[in-house]
Amino acid sequence: MDLGFWTGPDRIKVGGGELRLLSAREVLEARREGDALAQDGRERALCRNACLIARALERKGRPAFENGQAVLDAMRVEDIARLANAWAAFNRDCNPSALDGEEEIQRRKKAWSTRLMSAFNGACSACSALCPPRSGRKT
């Protein structure tokens, strides 16, 4: 699992591969592609989700599908919905909103403030135990 700049995961394992977080541009492109595939308003959600999955689902580090049409051809509606819901939950966890409410914001701030901040955090613990800090100059 890769780690993002906030030390959170940028991928999650799901049946059939891994879902990765998408940039805002990629999400907009998926929506536009989905709108182009949909023939009426009732198809829009399914087509948008298929295009989202085409961009987010990877197998062995490579996209599992070429485009949204390929997802629609290969997967059942239930599978597309399950993967889209998994991606949405993962995205919410990694990209909190100010609309989540004060309690949720405080919980996330606390969790982020207590995470390890240094790659060397704890690496020198044994050395520190052997050489305790001095509390002043001794002559």
Give dist(CA 55, CA 52) in Å, integer: 5
Q: Tell me what pLDDT residue 99 has.
A: 74
Nearest to 93 by CA among 7, 2, 8, 36: 8
Q: Tell me what pLDDT residue 21 has.
A: 94
Helix H segments across 38-76?
Answer: 44-56, 68-74
In eight-state DSSP terms, residue 134 is: P
pTM: 0.68
Q: Tell me what pLDDT residue 88 has.
A: 94
N-term to C-term CA, the chain: 53
Give the model confidence (pLDDT) of 24-50 as tens digits. Answer: 999 999 999 999 999 998 999 999 999
User: Could you tell me which residue, 107 or 122, shows the higher pLDDT?
Assistant: 107
Give the C-alpha distances (Å, rounded to integers) separating 131 from 43, 119, 123, 126.
68, 21, 14, 9
Q: Tell me what pLDDT residue 107 has.
A: 78
Give dist(CA 4, CA 16) in Å, integer: 22
Give the model confidence (pLDDT) of 82-108 as tens digits. Answer: 999 999 999 988 877 777 778 877 777
Mean pLDDT of 67-78: 97
Mean pLDDT of 111-131: 59
Q: 67, exposed or middle or buried, with CB in 10 Å at 0-12, 13-18, 19+? A: middle
pLDDT band, residue 4 (cuts 50/70/90): very low
